[in-house]
Amino acid sequence: MTTHYPTAAAAVADIPSCASLAVGGFGLSGIPDQLISALAAGKVTDLEVISNNCGTDGHGLGILLGKGRIRRVTASYVGENKEFARQYLAGELEVELTPQGTLAEKLRAGGAGIPAFFTPAGVGTPISEGGLPWRYNTDGSVAVASPPKDVREFGGRRYVLEESVTADYALVHAMRGDTDGNLVFSKAAMNFNPLAATAGRICIAQVEELVAPGDIDPEQVHLPGIFVDRIVHTGVQDKKIEKRTVSTVKGA
């Protein structure tokens, strides 16, 4: 059963320090910003985050990062986040960089109960052979490096074995949801939000619009409520732009 919470703070109040979080969104699009801000307003620390990226300086997961609340990040890229790069290179943060499609499948497979899978992505690189710096020492030497992974051949092509991931909690953002937890995502929010939701043992969803059961056409549901444990109505999202670019038209 999905429980309706009155505020984002109430929805995340029991998340403890050292918890693992699968966080939806793509860049700054479709991120569970109010759930993240509510966590940052509390005292949790030493979090392990699995997300496509870690926000930007001062936005999204970058808020938690800036406060030193994150111990480890599994992500596909650093993005426009100078503090992320600084903490990683200074040995303050453990980072496992993962090919984007592999990360998506790690979450999907984890949510489906599949413990591991083979993929061609990363074969013949440090992804499969090991040696990627996960954590640096303060002097710049490598403190923790990625281990080598099992590589096998299928149909004449080599594939690397990747373990799936799950998390203690999932934080996601949806455009619309009902009090039974059925969710509808909009545009770029479809990236990683449904995957993160299924990978979390407890899924917490913030929604821009909350409606009664039956108000969403079943054919329009992107994520069934069986995956959502908590839901909170946060209203229309204040959308941020990760990197603004402006072009001008000649003669305009």
Q: Give burial (CB, 10 Å; 0-12/13-18/19+) of 135.
A: middle
Q: Give the C-alpha separation, 126 to 110, whole Å.
A: 23
Which residue's entry shows tokens 């926000």?
55
- Residues 143, 136 contacting (CB under 8 angstroms): yes
SS (H, E, C) 112-147: CCCCEEEECCCCCCHHHHCCCEEEECCCCCEEEECC
Give the model's pLDDT for residue 252: 56
Q: Give residue 172's region: left, alpha or beta (phi > 0; psi -120 to 50).
A: beta
Q: Is the pLDDT of residue 85 over 90?
A: yes
Give the model's pLDDT for residue 239: 76
Provide the residue ranges of all domains of the chain, joining segments of one domain with +. 1-112+165-234, 116-163
Q: What is the mean pLDDT of the chain?
A: 95
pLDDT mean over 40-61: 95
* pLDDT over 90, % of the chain: 87
Please report which confidence band the pLDDT of residue 251 belongs to, taking 50, 70 and 90 as the band edges.
low
Give the model's pLDDT for residue 60: 92
The CA-to-CA distance between both ends of the chain, in Å, stands at: 56
| 55-64, 195-204, 235-244: range with lowest mean pLDDT | 235-244
pLDDT by residue (tens digit) across 189-230? 998 999 999 999 999 999 999 999 999 999 999 999 999 999
Q: Give the C-alpha separation, 48 to 237, whole Å.
A: 25
Give the model's pLDDT for residue 140: 94
Which residue's entry shows tokens 């990226």?
53
Q: Which fold has domain 1-112+165-234?
A: Glutaconate Coenzyme A-transferase (3.40.1080)
pLDDT by residue (tens digit) across 102-140? 999 999 999 999 999 999 999 999 999 999 999 999 999
Q: Give burial (CB, 10 Å; 0-12/13-18/19+) of 57.
A: middle
